[in-house]
Amino acid sequence: MKRIGILLSMALLLVGCAKMLTPSGGPKDTTPPSVLQVLPRNQASNFKDKTIKITFDEYVVLNNATENTIFSPPLQYPPEFSLSHKSLLIRIEDTLKPNTTYNVVLTDAVKDFTEGNKLPLYQYTFSTGETIDTFMYCGKLQNAQTLEPVPDCFVFLYQNDVDSLPLTTRPDYVTKTMKNGTFVFTNIAEGCYKLFALQDVNKDFLFNLPNEAIAFSDTMVCAVSMPPRQTDTVPQAKKRGTAKPKTVENKDGKDVQPNKSKREQTTMASDSAKLPTWSLFLEKDTVYALLKVSNPTLGVYQLAYRSEVRDCQFVPLDTVRFDRFERWNTTRDTVTLYAKNIPEDTVRFEVVADSHRDTIALAPYKKPKQSRGRGKKPATEIKFGVKADNMGEIYKDLELEFSYPVRPADSCRLWVIKKKNSGNDTSSVTVSVPDSFVTRLAVPLEKEEKVPYQLLIPDSVFFAYNGTTHDTLRFDFVMKSEKDYGDLVMNYEFKERGNYIVTLSSAQGELVRTDILRESARVTYLNLLTGSYKVKVIDDRNGNGKWDTGSYYEKRQPEPIYHFTKTLNVRGYWELEETFEVDNEK
């Protein structure tokens, strides 16, 4: 019995200990897999193998290996990827070119099995000839309009300067841009190349789709010699939760020093401001196809085109009357028709858009079907929407914005209530709607700083052409004061005379003002609301008053855009002055 009691006590003690002490696995592994060995070795010459074996220090899984692995020069047939224990096997199904240096770049193609840490970049180089090419070229890719870096975009090099090459021939070398938009070609042959960048939608290494963004060099770019490799160092063991040693392969295929490709790419791309930069753009679509005709609400019809329409005419094909207002969007690829008289029968037109003819039929509006069943809401009725803009602004009129053009009216009475400490002050203001296309209407107010206001619009004051009206509307706001405004002075300095579109926008991207300048000038922006602003300059080289994209077929780059990089913080009772030197030498 005594022995049983001792054993029972020991068991209870062990159980208690198990509850109190939870085994710890240590810090989480956040480091990517590390390459231990590559066969054949990296930088191998006279390469004749069909399989490349890359062995890691831990088990890995594939991560879209086909898409995340780049062969440069590109292969005609994609390689096969498989795993064996801790090794990645890349089987080449293609016939390699003789006396050619190949680069195999893994970009997030593998990740470790336990935590999913991706190997961000690894380059394997071999030559089918006696020597390895030792030249490189690097640059940067940016969006032509936003000037933001373009990541994960293909960049091609061609050994011949033939215009049709990007359209008909796969490139001699290929790489991809990194997160900061920089790109690097390593181990390429000495010489000069034609450069072309492509957002390759169909993954065929050819520019053959209208929705593929491109960039190109006006002249050939020349490769430079690569820096020498470092001497070998002794490898270190990987520790869980600690940084892994940086390694590349020695003559036996074992990793013993920093990965050359990653090191060189980081070094060459570290100061991206000094790199040659190209602008990625979409060519203008010149096909004037009518894409869609819609009838979103009563009396409203929209015609959407594939590209910009410069001139449009509507030719009636029957006797049904259809008086209307027309409004084009800013890009002139969509026109909205507002009916002055709601058609009860189908109206047919021939639409001539830049000499392209289409026949359209505008049917009477059909209300949405009522939803049925438990928990389902009925279809929304057509309503006449009224919004108020510039509420509380001292230097701008309060404006009413209508969802549909308003019928003419001589006098519309609105009520204004000032809420003062001494009591409310109620008055009326009368506005008129002219006999024209009106979707915005200014409301004059006597403004007192810091005073709460209330604007009341009785029901059925305004009537839309589609017969709808509104209920009683109420808008509450507080009038701003002088301390809510500041001034901005910008000194624009251009190296050459030209046509410059200068825009001032809020930090949220709302356009505040546009100016056209021909030469260096001092521009004053008065009474800006406090906050942050952005300035942009478009070098309008063809003088048409808008930004124009580029064209590879016409060998025309997109019109340059310059952003003022410094933050413009406007403060109340303060004048901020800055100078924008635009480096626009042509």
pLDDT in tens, 208-221: 998 999 999 999 99
The pLDDT > 90 percentage for the chain reads: 68
pLDDT of residue 423: 79
CA distances in angstroms from 313 to 62, 288, 310, 405, 437, listed in the order given: 57, 14, 10, 21, 18
**Residues 318-362 pLDDT 10s:** 888 889 999 999 889 999 999 988 888 899 999 998 888 999 999
Cα dihedral 66, 72, 76, 81, rounded to 10, equals -30
Contacts of 420 by beta carbon, 8 Å cutoff, 6+ apart: 451
Phi, psi of 66 (to 5 degrees): -65, -45
| Chain position carrying tokens 């026109």 | 335
Kind of pairing between the strands at 452-457 and 440-443: unpaired
Using the predicted structure, report yes or no on whether residue 247 has a pLDDT greater than 80: no
251's CB contacts (< 8 A; 6+ apart) are: 41
Looking at the predicted structure, is the pLDDT value of residue 556 above 90? yes
As a whole number, mean pLDDT of residues 464-472 equals 91
Q: What is the pLDDT of residue 281?
A: 97
User: Which of 398, 483, 45, 105 is CA-nearest to residue 260?
Assistant: 105
pLDDT, averaged across the chain: 86
DSSP code string of 128-185 = SSSS---EEEEEEEEETTT--B--S-EEEEESS--TTHHHHS--SEEEE--TTSEEEE
Distance CA 56, CA 37 (A): 7
pLDDT band at 266, cuts 50/70/90? Answer: very low
Please give the pLDDT value at position 120: 82
Asked if 155 and 269 count as a contact pair (C-beta separation under 8 A), the reply is no
pTM of the predicted protein model: 0.78
pLDDT higher for 268 or 11? 268
Taking only Cα atoms into account, the Rg of the chain, rounded to an integer number of angstroms, comes to 34
Question: Which string of DSSP letters, residue by residue, matches 269-293?
Answer: HSSGGGS-EEEEBPPPP----EEEE
Mean pLDDT of 387-411: 94
SS3 state of residue 10: helix
The C-alpha angle 418, 419, 421, rounded to 5 degrees, equals: 130
When pLDDT is averaged across residues 531-546 and rounded to a whole number, the result is 95
Q: How many CA atoms lie within 13 A of 145 on its CB side?
A: 10
Q: Is the pLDDT assigned to residue 67 strictly greater than 90? A: no
- Inform me whether the pLDDT recorded for 9 exceeds 50: no
Give exposure, 335-354, as e/b (b: 16+ Cβ within 10 Å): bbbbbeeebeeebebebebe
The mean per-residue pLDDT over the stretch 499-503 comes to 97
Q: Is the dihedral of CA 568, 572, 576, 580 positive or negative?
A: positive
Per the CB < 8 A criterion, the answer to whether 527 and 487 are in contact is: yes
Confidence at residue 40, expressed as pLDDT on a 0 to 100 scale: 95
Residue 89, H or E segment: strand 87-91
Q: Which two tokens stand for residue 267?
A: 């070094």
Instruction: Name the DSSP class of 556.
Output: B
In this predicted model, what pLDDT tens digit does every residue of 150-163 receive, in sequence order?
999 999 999 999 99
Whether 446 has a pLDDT exceeding 80, the answer reads: yes
Residue 13's SS3 state is helix
| Greatest Cα pair distance in the chain | 113
pLDDT 10s digits, 251-262: 555 554 334 444
What does the DSSP 8-state code read for residue 482? G
Residues 188-208 have a mean pLDDT of 94
Residue 267 has pLDDT above 50, yes or no: no
Q: Please choose, from the candidates 506, 511, 394, 406, the residue with its C-alpha nearest in 3D space to the C-alpha of residue 445.
A: 394
Both tokens assigned to 8? 């029972």
How far CA 560 is from CA of 30, 89, 147, 332, 466, in Å, comes to 42, 46, 10, 22, 45
Burial grade of 583 (CB within 10 A; 0-12, 13-18, 19 or more): exposed
Cβ pair 477, 447 in contact under 8 A:
no
The neighbour count for residue 281, using CB atoms within 10 Å, is 21
Question: Residue 272 has what pLDDT?
Answer: 63
Alpha-carbon dihedral 103, 106, 112, 115, rounded to 10 degrees? 150
The conformational region for residue 361 under phi > 0 = left, psi -120 to 50 = alpha, else beta, is: beta
> SS3 of 17, please?
helix
Q: Is the pLDDT score of 24 beyond 90?
A: no
User: Which class for 106: exposed (0-12), middle (13-18), buried (19 or more C-beta within 10 A)?
Assistant: buried
For the chain, helix, strand, coil in percent to 5 are 5, 40, 50
| Res 134 pLDDT > 70 | yes
Tell me how far apart the alpha carbons of residues 122 and 249 are, in angstroms, rounded to a whole number: 12
286 vs 47, which has greater pLDDT? 47
Q: What is the pLDDT of residue 103?
A: 94
Picking from 558, 483, 478, 568, the residue whose alpha carbon sits closest to that of residue 523 is 568
Give the pLDDT band of residue 422 (cuts 50, 70, 90): confident
DSSP line for 409-471:
EEEEEEEEEEEETTEEEEEEEEEEE-SS--SEEEE-----TT-EEEEEE-TTSS-BTTS----
Three-state secondary structure call for residue 5: helix
What's the full length of the chain, in residues? Answer: 586
CA distance 288 to 357: 9
